[in-house]
Amino acid sequence: MPSPIGNPSEAVCLVQLTDSHLYALGHADLLGLDTSASLNAVIELVRSEVPDIDLILATGDIAQDASESAYRRFIAAVATLPAPCHWIPGNHDDAALMGRIGSDVGFTQEWVDAGNWRIVLLDSSVAGSVAGYLAPDQLELLERALDSAGERFIMVCLHHHPVPIGCDWMDPLGLLNVDDLLPRLRLDNRVKVVLWGHVHQELDEQLDGLRLLATPSTCVQFARHSVDFATDTQAPGYRRFALLPDGSIETRVSRLEAGLFLPEPGAVGY
């Protein structure tokens, strides 16, 4: 595990980037949108809005083509921000390749302690599947993280959504074994936040004291409450947090200027 970040008596500033969908070749596009350019624009927005960052989280689908070049491009992009980054794989990623590359640069961790918080990083990806599943080793990782957290408050991160989000086409593509996760988290009053990517849209809900949060992609946005696959015209963005010592959080989503980085109209999938 990395050394603890920050002081337990102080707030921690965290930035979440998710679903960048980079390619081996720079300036390749997803549904007509240049994913490398949009990621760099979002990172520039972070730099202008959040001068003092303690930690960056990247919650999956780093690459669209699961190529080493795409992962190296992501690493280079986030290196321009003044904070360490940790990542987890999504359904488009090669988890084993990410693990090897990430171990070399410190991106791959099971959890990280920041301020008075423990941030647990779960791999919900399944090779060949769009939907997610927490394998036994990931559930065991979660137990170890909870058992050793002491009095720290806890944020749990994964790629796939563990609750319905109100999109008929997307809801079946979330976490398939949610009953192995949420009941365990709801038993532990130290667990305050569950955070994910995958859905390319913003969500902020409560479940029995758990804050449930999803975040816009740094590239294409999906339309909320859609029956079939549909993109949205909102701009790419990121989420920022202040994790406070008393277990409360402050969070908001920030986006690029409206009208930037729009996908091609009428796309039916990707």
Both tokens assigned to 219 = 């590239």
Confidence bin at 86 (pLDDT 50/70/90): very high
Q: What are phi and psi of 75, to 5 degrees?
A: -60, -45
Strand (E) or helix (H) holding 119: strand 117-121
> DSSP alpha helices (H): ranges in 60-133?
68-78, 95-105
Q: Is residue 8 helix, strand or coil? A: coil
Region 41-69 average pLDDT: 97
Region 44-66 average pLDDT: 97
Q: CA 141, CA 137: separation in Å to the nearest integer?
A: 6
Q: Is residue 222 helix, strand or coil? A: strand
Q: What is the pLDDT of residue 270?
A: 80
Q: CA 197, CA 124: separation in Å to the nearest integer?
A: 11
- Domain 12-246: what homologous superfamily? Metallo-dependent phosphatases (3.60.21.10)
Q: Exposed, middle or buried: residue 216 (CB in 10 Å: 0-12, 13-18, 19+)?
A: buried
Q: What is the pLDDT of residue 115?
A: 96
Largest CA distance in the chain: 50
Long-range contacts of 164-167 (CB under 8 A, 24+ apart): 165/199, 165/201, 165/203, 165/214, 165/224, 166/224, 166/225, 167/199, 167/222, 167/223, 167/224, 167/225, 167/226, 167/227
pLDDT > 90 in the chain, percent: 91
CB count in 10 Å sphere of residue 258: 9
Pairing state between β 210-214 and 191-196 = parallel
pLDDT, one tens digit per residue, over 146-183 is 999 999 999 999 999 999 999 999 999 999 999 999 99
Nearest Cα to Cα of residue 56 among 83, 88, 22, 93: 83
Tokens 């009953």 — which residue? 179
pLDDT, one tens digit per residue, over 189-203 is 999 999 999 999 999
Q: What is the pLDDT of residue 160?
A: 98
* Contact (CB, 8 A) for 28 and 36: yes
Region 78-104 average pLDDT: 97
Average pLDDT score, the chain: 96
Q: What is the pLDDT of residue 26?
A: 82
Pairing state between β 153-157 and 111-114 = unpaired
Question: Residue 3 pLDDT > 80, yes or no?
Answer: no
Region 125-145 average pLDDT: 98
Q: What is the pLDDT of residue 1?
A: 65
Q: What is the pLDDT of residue 172?
A: 97
Q: What is the pLDDT of residue 101?
A: 97
Nearest Cα to Cα of residue 254 among 223, 218, 220: 218
Tokens 């994790």 — which residue? 243
